[in-house]
Amino acid sequence: MFDLTRFEKISRLTLLLAVCMLALLATPAAAQDYLFAVPELEMQVFVQRDASARIVYDITFQNSAGGHVIDIVDIGMPTPDYDIGNMSASVGGVAVTDIRPSELVSQAVEIHLGRFTIPPSGTGILHLEFTIPDLVYQDVTNKELASLQISPTWFEGQFVQGTTDIKIAIHLPEGVNPDDILYQDVPFTEKALFQGRAVALWEFPEARLTGQNRVAVSFSQSVMERVIEQSVFDLAINWFVGNPGVRMAAGILGVLLFSFLFLRFSGGTGWSLWFLLTGGLILLYVSSPGLHMLSFIPLIALIFVNERGLKQRKSKYLPPIVSVEGGGIKRGLTAAEAAALLEMPLNKVLTLILFGLLKKGVVQQVEASPLKLEISEPFRAADGKAAPTTKKEKEQARRQAAQDAGLVLHKYEHPFLEALEENPGKPVPQINFGKAMNAFLETVAARLKGFNLEETRDYYRRIVDRAITEAKSIGDLPEFEKTVDRNLEWILMSDQYPTVFARPSYTYFPHWVRPTASGGGVSLGGGKGSGGASVPSLGDVGAGFAGWAETTMGTLAGAILPGSVKAPGSGGYINLSGVDKVTGDVFKAMASSSGGSGGRSGGGSCACACAGCACACACAGGGR
């Protein structure tokens, strides 16, 4: 049972407070000598109608035999809004007047005991009274109730020994019936009516005073002149801010989720932009705990949307095509046309078109990195009076040259040759193939009208799978090379193509750079071969031909400006979700508006929260 008479003598005050600790030495080394017990801690909280509370502490300190004298005691405050002017302290009934803001404990005051220092093996009782405003809140679970939550102070385990008899009493305003008081989480030890006021009582015998001992009540709001309005979200933010470990873990999780989203969205490109955006995200987390908490909602939603989009793999850059059920399969498409039908990234489609021209010898490779091409002599526009001048004449001349060479030059390849012809000596990634790609996509759409698109897609997926399987199954190197030469574009359409070229002691070279019998050839490492005897090396461009092809595809992402590829019916834009849209050139694309691709240590938190209540917690304190 509580001794209410003794509580009356001690005081008639209001809210919480956290008593902070013991001895702290003038030097860190001396701080290690502090060792004491706290046999009893009594805290009374007197709730006022204006939402403030008067708090009365009586704390008994028992210094150890070898402990440093306790000359200063730090007492934690529930909120930063404390006023030393309304504080009074005493030891043994004699006033102690030297109270200052604590130099070593945040949100606390230090009480200098003066001539009442507690010597080794000595005992002393510190009495402290003060008032704190704005401690009573609206209960977020019931708008008709007011709420108060509070915890006494605790001490670092390395300084305090033994257990403590903790007693807490919350005195409610007049008009509250004891039967109407509700507890939160921790049941009352008992309830009482004392001097016309309902009192909620808790007792924790033999408790460890090394952490929070939080209690809370809800009562009718009708007895209050005002309460502090607070939502569940406000409580969550207070808890979040007051738990640095949780906030740090949430920050790491947020960065990981954002990184996952970014890398999945960008296809593993755009590291410079990732660093920039991640830095901004961290700055947001530090400056705004609320936005930090809310950021998980859009992050998770965007991850869901992005993963769903990747699963469907619908870039939708083809013009609208009427698919006829039972219309059959459209056979005879080239690898590039099939890649467009499967809506693979446009940079991969462009690579297949250019590799097809290289394979037929219509163009020649001048440099590998960055890729530079030139039109082979038979297919160039001749100089002189008889030279073709119009687009139609140039196409006729190229077709004739192809016929003479026994080759097939597709209609869609002419615009790409024209783009190369108009930009002599320019690296391929710096040439805008958007107009040519737009014409190519319209050609593909026209060829597919009247056929069953899904059956046609399945047909070409099987061709790609068969090309990969066949190449992997061949052990004889000459036969392997012959097969890869024949199916190169189909092999490159598969995500598994690097595994085809991973053969020990062998490096595949496409025939347009393959060394001749005399030792000539063009190195994938760059430049024209000089006819020397050395075999071209792929060490400069990654893991063989596969590494070079991967690098080439990546660089070609910037060769198709999205603004120049507009499929009819698409609303004037193109969704390039299948392209590596985040590259080192993203800023250039944005600029062009074209799109693109010490002594006293605290033992606990100074903040706490619970569902449906306000919270006031004392900081862990110490002595010197």
Q: With cut-offs at 50, 70 and 90, classify the pLDDT of residue 411.
A: very high
Who's near 510: CB < 8 A, 6+ residues apart? Answer: 355, 358, 359, 485, 488, 545
**Is the same domain home to 279 and 343?**
no
For tokens 């590291």, name the residue: 271
Q: Looking at the domain assignment, is residue 591 inside a domain?
A: no
Q: Looking at the domain assignment, is residue 613 inside a domain?
A: yes
**Is the same domain home to 381 and 511?**
yes
Who's near 205: CB < 8 A, 6+ residues apart? Answer: 163, 165, 166
Which of 15-29, 111-125, 276-290, 314-328 bottoms out in mean pLDDT, i.e. has the lowest? 15-29
**Is the same domain home to 180 and 70?**
yes
Q: Looking at the domain assignment, is residue 251 inside a domain?
A: yes
Q: Looking at the domain assignment, is residue 28 inside a domain?
A: yes
Q: What is the pLDDT averaged over residues 412-431?
A: 90
Which of 536, 559, 582 is the last residue before a domain boundary?
559
Q: With cut-offs at 50, 70 and 90, classify the pLDDT of residue 515.
A: low
**What is the per-residue DSSP string for 112-170?**
E-GGG-B-TT-EEEEEEEEEESS--EE-TT-TTEEEEEEE---B-TTTEES-EEEEEEE
What are the Cα distances from residue 498, in Å, to 77, 488, 491, 506, 546? 65, 12, 9, 14, 5
Bridge partners (DSSP) listed for residue 60: 40, 125
Q: What CA–CA distance (Å, rounded) separates 61 from 161?
A: 11
**Is the same domain home to 157 and 76?**
yes
User: In this predicted structure, what is the pLDDT of residue 9?
Assistant: 37
- Give the residue, 493 or 561, on which the prediction is more confident: 493
Long-range contacts of 189-196 (CB under 8 A, 24+ apart): 189/2, 190/1, 190/2, 192/2, 192/4, 194/4, 194/7, 194/8, 195/8, 195/12
Closest CA to 70 of 34, 103, 39: 34
Closest CA to 239 of 622, 610, 624: 610
**Is the same domain home to 74 and 184?**
yes
**Is the same domain home to 98 and 146?**
yes
**Is the same domain home to 126 and 79?**
yes
User: In this predicted structure, what is the pLDDT of residue 169?
Assistant: 92
Q: Looking at the domain assignment, is residue 417 inside a domain?
A: yes
Q: Looking at the domain assignment, is residue 391 inside a domain?
A: yes
H helices of 556-594, in order, are 586-591
Which of 279, 312, 345 is the last residue before a domain boundary?
312
Which of 86-95, 328-337, 342-351, 400-409 bottoms out in mean pLDDT, i.e. has the lowest? 342-351
Q: What is the pLDDT averaged over residues 99-105?
A: 88
Q: What is the CATH number of the domain that holds 187?
A: 2.60.40.1730
**Is the same domain home to 26 and 164?**
yes
- Give the residue, 246 or 557, on which the prediction is more confident: 246
Quick one: which H or E segment has residue 309? helix 296-312
Q: Looking at the domain assignment, is residue 3 inside a domain?
A: no
* pLDDT tens by residue, 295-342: 889 999 989 888 877 665 554 667 667 666 777 899 999 999 998 888
Q: Which domain holds residue 276?
A: 238-312
Tell me: pLDDT of 513 over 50. Answer: yes
H helices of 493-608, in order, are 497-500, 544-555, 586-591
The per-residue pLDDT of the chain, averaged, comes to 76
* pLDDT tens by residue, 252-283: 999 999 998 888 777 666 677 888 889 999 99
pTM over 0.75: no
What are the Cα distances from residue 428, in Å, to 309, 317, 432? 30, 22, 8
Q: With cut-offs at 50, 70 and 90, classify the pLDDT of residue 608.
A: very low
**Is the same domain home to 252 and 381?**
no
Q: Looking at the domain assignment, is residue 317 inside a domain?
A: no
**Is the same domain home to 45 and 151?**
yes
**What is the per-residue DSSP string for 171-234?**
EPPTT--GGG-EESSS--SEEEEETTEEEEEEEEEEE-SSS---EEEEEEGGG-S--B---HHH
Q: Please give the tally of structural domains in the chain.
A: 3
**Is the same domain home to 134 and 259?**
no
* pLDDT tens by residue, 122-173: 999 999 999 999 999 888 778 889 999 998 888 778 888 999 999 999 999 9
**Is the same domain home to 37 and 154?**
yes
Q: What is the pLDDT averaged over residues 459-474?
A: 92
